Structure 1
Amino acid sequence: MGNWADLTTGKRIKHLRGSDLTQQGLADASGLSLALVQKAEQDRGELSVGSLLKLASALKTDVAVILGQQAPRRGMSQDIRAALRQLSDAVHESALGEWEGIDDPSTVEELSAARDRAWDAYWASDTVMVSGYAAKVLMEGQVRYVSATGREREQVGAILASTYRVAASCSNGFGQRDLALSALTSAKHLAKGADDPVMTALLESTLSWIYLRGANLPRAVTVAERAALAIEPSFSSGSRSQLLAYGRLMISAAVAASRREDEATADDYISQAHAAAARLGRDEKLYGTNFGPTAAKTEAVGIHVALKNYGRALQLASQPDMKQLPQSMSKVARNRYKLDVALAQCAAGLHDRAADTLIEVGLDAPEWVKHQALPGVIGRRLAKVSTARVRRIGDVIGVPLIA
């Protein structure tokens, strides 16, 4: 087969499809037309992010594999594979009650602090640290949970639910859908016991993202809509935690709608997110989730990019308060936003600026960027201007962008 990165995208799709699945079978499994699948395998035209997500889901692989940014079954570094294995063990063993040998579990305060560190590590794109802290909380927290009563049991249950959620988020980011769903199942069970509607709403936001990454876009929208309706606050008297959860769910629904190219619905949802953010007045964080004016604005840019409203996206990105993002914005959120901006710059013919933005992202989050779809999409578009430059960019950031 040769070097995976040296193959064209069409040849990679054909190889992943194999001889057991026909082109019509791939079209049926992905929900795409046979003509589009044929064009994709012949490297004719450009695949949208939505089409790439659907193909990856049907082929049971990751978008980064289709684009050649990582090879099948060996794209992750040894450290990342070990971290995900540790995370998987902790998710399953803690839920099954396999925690022998833990005689003196951490206190509620210590578990809460470790949970917060796991979320901080997640937003810093440090998978090894996420796994280490999450494994500690899940194993020790379950030991404390089964013997706790009253208020302490509610507190530990909420800590565990939030930690299972960060495990689900981390797993989903690497395309480990089954592990993400397992973690989220445990989280939802615990959230019910804690009687915390805000936590429950945020879990639904994560579930919507899992469906989005799996290209089940109608389900992604429905899950976010349902959860938002359940927690919809009064904008005059709703609590800040309700506003945060509602705003985040509106963003989830808007993102999924934009991937379906449903502009009217996406606009409606993002306007609701802006309203919730305006009511909050500042960026806030709860249970590892960030929301506020910054999130609403940066996500709006990405939504307009998905809708191919590139001029509108760049107009939003050029506003004074968007040129200097707040220090509180996480590495993951910041770089995801920059990839959206780079794609818009590329579409607008601002190729030098798009290349510079892509390099910024690759240098800031080298491991994270390997598992994202947009670098390959941007690279292919830049290659129409200069393949040599794109290869240099790929060398600099450590991600092959074109064959």
Structure 2
Amino acid sequence: MTAWSEYSTGERVKILRGTEMTQAALAEAAGVSVALVQKVEQGGSVKVASLIKLADALGTDVGVLLGQQAPRRAMRRAERTALRAISLAVHDSALVSHAPDAEPGTLADLQKANAAVWAAYWSGDYPNLGALVPALITEARAFTDAHDGRLAEQGSAILAEGYEVAACVANILGKRDLAYAAVAHAMRAADSSGDELLSANLAALLAWVYLRDGRTERAVKVAEDAAVSIAPSFADASPARLSVFGNLMLRAAVSASRRDDRIRATDFLSQAHAAAARVGKDGNLYQTAFGPTSASTQAVGIHLAFGNIGQALDLIENTRLPADMPKAAKSRYMLDVALAWCEARQWDKAADTLLDVCSEAPEWVRHQELAGQVAQRLGDGSTAKLRKITQLLGVPLLPR
């Protein structure tokens, strides 16, 4: 496979433009002539200022056009544009000491906007989040600046969630630096909200960023420390506290399993199951999607990490997913199911499961490394199914 740096600047522009955008459309979006776009793509030399305009129109950085960094594999132009918009919103908030001129709406309006952001996130609609997240951050900052007391705290909580979604999207799309920055902003806003559970839940997010960044020991420590700080007691064992605690324990368990630490992973998972049993039903308090089902679905991935294929399959057989389970959470579990079938050499079952995920969550699945790993192992299954999976994932895959 050709490395991104081995392409010419013109080839990189053409690849990023893709079939979704004509040369004329790129020229119009960048504010340059069609002749300049043609010149670049044909290998001609242009000023850096023009490349910056082209990069902005393509939703990327000029360093990508110059081959200094590669775009994330399988990221489409709409997703790159959304990521760029989210990045600007997060970083601008660090440079501007007050919210831009914006008429603050009501708390109800802000809560409605926040719900729309989370709905888009859980459905995997990343392109739409490029508009929704920056708007929520701007509106929440304006609301917080315009009020004090309890209203300011409520505005800060929603602002924290806006940054939280920004961090989640950045982490999924591989922009780790942006994810860390957004988490930091979220934690500051959460501190201003006075909500200790919100602050603790953001530690689970940070642990997830660490996990995807390969910093597994940091992930375990952050999640475990936060869980200890809000551990339920007989005096306070509300569903919200149990959900945040249980979610942190699951994050710690998964992170420990990636370090092959069976003792700690088993202990953390046991505490998560206990919290789920006390909650008694599935829910999504603090956007944790936590409950008995999530404890079981996460356990499948942990058993697979330790090579306990039989136990993973037994759990899969006995797990029933609720109809209202968020699409992203359901899809992540189904990738583990596909992997389990691969480990059991049930190739057709693995292919059918992966094909279902690709069909139901096409935008989400293309950014999941596990999907590619499963697909690469389907060489003994149906070639037709593998070809369709390849098309849906949007990446070249070869049968083993």
TM range (shorter): 0.7 to 0.9
1:379 corresponds in structure 2 to 375
Q: Does 1:349 align with 2:348?
A: no
- Pair 1:314-2:282 in alignment: no
Q: CA deviation at 1:388?
A: 6.7
Aligned CA distance change for structure 1 residues 343 and 73 (closer, same or farther; 3 Å) = closer
Aligned residue pairs: how many? 334
Q: Tell me by how many angstroms 1:103 deviates.
A: 3.5
Matched position secondary structure for 2:284 = strand
Tell me if the contact between 1:162 and 1:287 (Cα under 8 Å) persists in the aligned partners. Answer: no
Contact 2:366–2:393 (8 Å) recurs in 1: no
In structure 2, how many angstroms separate the alpha carbons of the residues matched to 1:103 and 1:85?
21
Q: Distance in 1 between matches of 2:243 and 2:370?
A: 28
Q: Is the 8 A contact 1:363 1:397 kept in 2?
A: no
1:200-258 CA-partner distances (Å, limit 9, x unpaired): 11100000000000010100000001000100012674122110110000000000011
- Give per-residue Cα distances to partners, 1:31-72, cap 9 Å, x unaligned: xxxxxxxxxxxxxxxxxxxxxxxxxxxxxxxxxxxxxxxx85
Counterpart residue number, 2:362: 366
| 1:131 is the counterpart of 2:127 | no
Change (3 A) 1:386 1:327: closer
- 2:201 pairs with 1:205: no
- After superposition, residues 168-207 of structure 1 pair within 5 angstroms as 168-207=167-206
Q: What letter corresponds to residue 377 of structure 1 in structure 2?
A: Q
Change (3 A) 1:388 1:177: same
Question: Where does residue 115 of structure 2 map in the other structure?
Answer: 116
Which residue of 1 is the match for residue 140 of structure 2?
141
Other structure's SS at 1:125 match: coil
Rounded Cα–Cα distance in structure 2 between residues aligned with 1:355 and 1:138: 40
Partners of 2:99 and 2:142 within 8 A in 1: no
CA displacement at 1:348 relative to structure 2: 0.6
Instruction: Compute the displacement of 1:132 (Å).
Output: 2.0
- Whether the 8 Å contact between 1:339 and 1:358 is mirrored in structure 2 is yes
Aligned-partner Cα distance in 2 for 1:74–1:376: 11
Hey, what's the Cα distance between the residues in 2 that align with 1:393 and 1:119?
A: 28
Q: Which segments of 5 or more consecutive residues in structure 2 lack a partner in the other structure?
A: 5-69
Residues 193 and 315 of structure 1: CA distance in aligned 2, closer, same or farther (over 3 Å)? same
The answer as to whether partners of 1:118 and 1:133 remain within 8 angstroms in 2 is yes
Residue of structure 2 aligned with 1:394, choices 386, 390, 400: 390
Larger-Rg structure: 2
CA distance in structure 2 between the aligned counterparts of 1:81 and 1:99, rounded to whole angstroms: 27
- 1:55-94 alignment runs, 5 A limit: 72=71, 75-94=74-93
Output the CA distance in 1 between the equivalents of 2:269 and 2:247.
10
Paired with 1:156 and 1:91, the residues of 2 have a C-alpha distance of 17
For the Cα contact (< 8 Å) 1:99–1:139, is it kept in 2?
A: no
- Against the structure 1 CA distance between its residues 236 and 307, is the aligned structure 2 distance closer, same or farther, given a 3 Å change threshold? farther
**Could you say which residue in structure 2 is the equivalent of 1:249?**
248
The answer on whether the counterparts of 1:376 and 1:402 sit within 8 Å (CA) in structure 2 is no
Which is bigger in relative contact order (C-alpha 8 A, separation at least 6)? 1
Q: How does 1:199-348 map to 2 (within 5 A)?
A: 199-234=198-233, 237-319=236-318, 322-323=319-320, 325-348=321-344
Alignment-mate amino acid for residue 181 of structure 2: S
SS of residue in 2 equivalent to 1:83 = helix
User: Aligned ranges for residues 99-114 of structure 1 at < 5 Å?
Assistant: 102-114=101-113
Change (3 A) 1:103 1:169: closer
Distance 1:309 1:106 in 2: 53
Equivalent residues of 1:359, 1:397 under 8 A apart: no
> 1:231 and 1:165 mapped to 2: Cα distance?
19
Q: Does 1:152 align with 2:148?
A: no
SS in 2 for 1:338: helix
Structure 2 distance, partners of 1:173, 1:311, is: 30
Aligned to 1:36: none
TM-score (norm 1): 0.78
Alignment correspondent of 1:30: none
Alpha-carbon deviations, 1:291-329, whole Å to 9, x = none? 11111111111111122211111100101xx24x21211
Following TM superposition, the consecutive aligned residue runs of length 4 or more in structure 1 with deviations greater than 6 angstroms are: none
Deviates more, 1:209-218 or 1:96-105: 96-105
Could you report, residue by residue, the CA deviation over 1:58-103 in whole angstroms, capped at 9, with x for unpaired residues?
A: xxxxxxxxxxxxx855631111011111111111223332777634
Q: Distance in 1 between matches of 2:78 and 2:145?
A: 32
Shift of the 128–279 alpha-carbon distance from structure 1 to 2, 3 Å rule, reads same
Give the alignment's Cα RMSD to 1 decimal.
2.1
